Structure 1
């Protein structure tokens, strides 16, 4: 089996524990002064890549993490390197400039060619736009096999067995490298980056480039018309007994 050169895309998003708020212009959520961290599904991808090397499931030559975003996106790249990735690539875009899934997929296709990657492991979706499209688009652009929503990954020579989440159960698919795998929550439990590894990560190589360096333009095909908060829930009421419950349901037309 040829050694794996794994590319792991990661994204800086609003921390999962923060409740997003719509900005005053109603064009999106407020990001200024809000805690950000690595997209949780991308943490799973980094962890799985490092585990493949640690468990010697397959020979791993290189684990490269890549992120597109403003200068602060380097924070999640350093975190990924502290978790065990070898190096990072930061594709600089202006603060507030959004990339649609197709643009990200085109960027990653160029990065795969540049890095000579034969395996891409990425989160099934990011928790900010929940598009869940990038992995599938990337596989289509590359003409590679794909396995989405992975809950287990196993190597058998040049063949990869991926157990994936489906409605009501699990499905196992088999494909040969090169391929794209998107990760789901049951795949693993990401490790915390230790202080010594955080310090080591500061010395690992991090290359900066632009979209134009990869021959990609940020073409916008979608426009956000308006973003609003969900309507507040109405408060519930109490009933004294079962007869009262039945009467209330009849009053509401539920029965």
Structure 2
């Protein structure tokens, strides 16, 4: 006799398998969904002409590229010997969007909450600029201000975003996201960063340290990451 599946269990199992498949693709096919800017930069800075045809093959990924896994990892500073720690996947947040657009939305949302927290802590004059008529993202800043009032987002030893521009917000948040996911799943960020625009990472600050005791901070960042990444694309028009 086959055991009955509890209501909702089948959907949960399907979601779990889908999530695991996503992590496996990220790990062993790190070129999947990568931002083309990485290939452009690699082709422009490569010192060997024979690299260009190899790099171009990754613009239209297919199953045969798995044979070039180690070459790709060496070219983009990924530890090919590090296996996917399957035992740690259970501790990862459910339904964490990992495509490039989702990562960008999450970075901007985290940066906004951090900048709003900074303004509330003393830079009150900067608050008025966030709701200027010339900005097209006032609703996003209102939401960030609401979150900052409920729980400020601050990193000990790390200055908040200097300005409210998208570049500053990304430059502050992407290293935080990298640290968070690298602590949870060692080896993940070297792969996941390839889905971000490399230009955004060039302006990023140093990856911060998050103390083991800062469990509440980690939960806060995961929550903002997941909720913002899953939402529609509201990238502002600020430089």
The normalised TM-score by structure 1 is 0.24
- Higher helix fraction: Structure 1 or Structure 2? 2
More strand by share: 1
Q: 1 or 2 for the larger relative contact order (CA 8 Å, sep ≥6)? A: 2
What TM-score results when the alignment is normalised by the length of structure 2? 0.25
